[in-house]
Structure 1
């Protein structure tokens, strides 16, 4: 028992002396240069810290106790983003800005052409425009009854209304209604004057 106690005490004293002598300033020991490829690797996968340079050992700034007290690198915490932990993160793109300007209001207006006198009477054409587009047309003052009234009805049916030839062609270039040449011509003249006014 006594021998074992002496052996342990001697071992402890020798180790302490070795540490003190090795780390003492001015001990004159030089640290051998170890190539990076042969440097020992720690279990975490990174190379072991480089041994202190001879000047640092001589000044006493890098003792084994100061090396041992260096802080280990922190592990990633749970509150870090997935990208910093090596995971993938979806990139969100900002939404396109919404336009707040509304389309200009389209104004609807009515324009009436001059009264045109022809062989069977007189007529005027009134057109309704939405913006610059003709949306409706009608003849006013057409003769009623008899053969003249029949011709007037034929012209009105062909040219006027929201689905008539005036709206379809958007101009006064209309085909002449058969059997109502004078009425067709008067209608076109008043229509052209209304378009020029519009």
Structure 2
């Protein structure tokens, strides 16, 4: 009887401790100031008609491992291509991560027609930078 009480108490304590843990959140990135609607598009943007046609350069996003910047090509408001302008490449590990993460992110963005895509496992910072830069390009296209 005494063992049952001790086991129940121990399990209850463990469950309470696990429930007290906060869920994992993606890291916040530096250099991501909100853009105002009245701001002019950055240099290197090729705005098209109001339908969102042309190439739109996203803002550079500084991440822990380097800057990420993309340019989105849209035709009639649909993403047809995403070109990576800057990505972390300081060392072999950065190059390895970007070589597998960026094609997946591009494929996801074109498939979803949005910057609201899943991050690539093992490339959280690069993924967040990619999504934020892509979103700024899409915001310009729809402005």
Give the structure-1-normalised TM-score: 0.43
More helix by share: 2
Q: Does structure 1 retain, via aligned residues, the 8 Å contact 2:52–2:77?
A: no
Larger Rg computed on CA atoms = 1
Distance in 2 of aligned mates of 1:107 and 1:120: 32
Q: CA RMSD in A?
A: 1.6
The aligned residue for residue 115 of structure 2 is: 172
- Please state how far the C-alpha of 1:138 moved relative to its aligned partner: 2.0
Distance in 2 of aligned mates of 1:108 and 1:137: 13
Q: Deviations 1:136-189 (Å, cap 9, x if unpaired)?
A: 1122111234111111112211022xxx11110001111110100000011011
Q: Which has the higher contact order (CA 8 A, sep 6+)?
A: 2
- Please state how far the C-alpha of 1:108 moved relative to its aligned partner: 4.2
Count of aligned pairs: 90
The aligned residue for residue 65 of structure 1 is: none
Where 2:94 maps in the other structure, the secondary structure is: helix
Distance in 2 of aligned mates of 1:116 and 1:107: 22
Superposed counterparts of 1:56-95, under 5 Å: none
Unaligned residue ranges in structure 2 (runs of 5+) = 1-50
Give the structure-2-normalised TM-score: 0.59
Distance in 1 of aligned mates of 2:94 and 2:59: 20
